[in-house]
Amino acid sequence: MTLPSLAIRSLANRRFAIGLTVLTIALSIALLVLVEQLRSEVREGFYRSVSGTDLIVGARTSPVQLLLYSVFGLGEATNNVSWESYQALSGTAEVAWAVPISLGDAHQGYRVVGTEAGFFDHYRYADRQPLEFAHGARFDDLFDVVLGHQVARKLDYALGDEIVLAHGTTRVSLQQHDNLPFTVSGILAPTGTPIDQQLYISLTAHEAIHIGWQNGMPRPGANLSDEQARAMAERLTPDSVTAILLGLTTRAAVFGLQRRVNDYRQEALSAVLPGIALQQLWRITGLAEQILRVVAALVVLSGLLGMLTVLLTTLNERRREMAILRANGARPLQIAGLLVFEAGLLAAAGIALGLVMAFAVQAIAAPWLLSTVGVNLAVSWPSALLWKLLGGIWLAGLIVGTVPALMAYRRTLADGMQVRM
């Protein structure tokens, strides 16, 4: 019998303790892999979501907050941008396109974005990919609505379905705009970004459903009919929008324009470069990430120490085993090698099981993350860095294995066959 098969049989003989050891290591590895994967996946998801937009303009606020509420549908806007500012901005020479967005309404917890048709022309995600329609087309009629892919899938909507929007962004809404239902005119193809979680209506429609809401609640008896709303919509211009996405004719003008927006005397505005705001966000979350990493590293360390404990405690019980091996001609070095091999095998099994566990958790958590944070978590192959880290942990496992190996090596020399049980 060769040494490896001996080792495996010996391990199988102690399967309960060994199984627990492997499970301990696997849990620690799973935690480490999850922390690392989630971190990179969340970042990737955020970077995917905004591309080709040079500046985002909103009411004066922190860059991170503006980015989060305008693009990711996270948090609320503190204030709106006046329609006059929007028009002045879109008429600026450096601005190639300006897309306004109005927020504040929802449909069963999915955010409703009031925007213009230009949104579908100019919005880009991932590697500058334009939005595509899976079914139908952009809104044409006043009460048309375009659905993000997840919205249509989760709520099981098809083209032509009538839906009612609700006031406020909560999942359960008590105030419905039920006098003015919308018809689904188009469903977007999946993007893996917050776009999938939103509904799109025209700015005019966004204004129209809020006719009579000037005092913060619908005026009693002011429920407009479809025809009345249409008649009024002819003369309707929005007072304000929540944010404006800008594309520039010359990217080199971006800092100058940003400065002018931030200095705009007529209204307190903020302009942010999405790339910078994302980095600022990572700076905030970075500390928490580091803490998670340290915790994961400590857990891995305790997993390896657990393995060492098991190997050392079983070493005493295995003196007879070692003695028999010695009697059959095994050299002390071979005994030591056997123990290191065992440790390597345990560490490898733990790492493999840990990876499987991490992937399983990712696959299970992905839909939940998509619906709560709006970030699509693709179950991806671990990065090169992670593989190196896992390799390092395996090596650490081997090193841990040398401790009992060294002890066994010494003992077999010292007490050889004269073991008294």
Partner 1 sequence: MLMTHRSWTLLTLTLLLALAASLSANETRVLEWIELMPQEEADSWLNDSANVDHSGFDAPQPFQSFTTVPELDGETVRIPGFVVPIETDGEGNLLEFFLVPYFGACIHVPPPPANQLIYGRLDEAIPMVNIWDAFWMEGQLNIENIENETAASAYTMDVASLELY
Q: Residues in the site for partner 1, rule: CB under 8 A?
A: 40, 43-44, 46-48, 51-52, 54, 93-94, 126-129, 249-256, 258-260, 262-263, 265, 273, 275-276, 278-279, 283
CB of 135 to partner 1, least distance (A): 24
Q: How far is CA 212 from the centre of its chain?
A: 39
Q: Least Å distance between CB 123 and partner 1?
A: 15
Contact 307, 394 (CB under 8 A): no
Alpha carbon distance 185, 138 (integer Å)? 6
Rounded to the nearest 5 degrees, what angle is found at the Cα of 244, between the Cα atoms of 224 and 281? 120
With residue 252 as reference, give the H or E element that holds it: none
Within 10 angstroms of residue 137's Cβ, the number of other Cβ atoms is 13
User: Smallest distance, Å, CB 382 to partner 1?
Assistant: 14
Task: Record the tokens describing residue 200, joined without a space.
Answer: 């799109």
Cα(4)–Cα(18) distance, rounded to whole angstroms?
A: 16
Reported as type and span, the H/E element at residue 272 is strand 269-272
Smallest gap from residue 374 Cβ to partner 1 (A):
16
Q: What is the dihedral of CA 282, 288, 293, 295, to 10 degrees?
A: 180
Q: Which of 391, 402, 394 is nearest to 311 (CA)?
A: 402
- Count other C-beta atoms under 10 Å from residue 394's C-beta: 17
Closest CA to 380 of 33, 28, 13: 33
Which residue has 């020479």 as its token pair?
A: 93
**In the complex, least distance from residue 61 CB atom to partner 1, rounded to whole angstroms:** 15
- Closest distance between partner 1 and the C-beta of residue 287, in Å? 14
Of the candidates 182, 394, 379, the residue with the CA atom closest to the CA atom of residue 307: 394
At closest approach, how far in Å is the CB of 43 from partner 1? 5
Residues 401 and 397: their CA atoms lie apart, in Å, by 6
CB of 38 to partner 1, least distance (A): 14
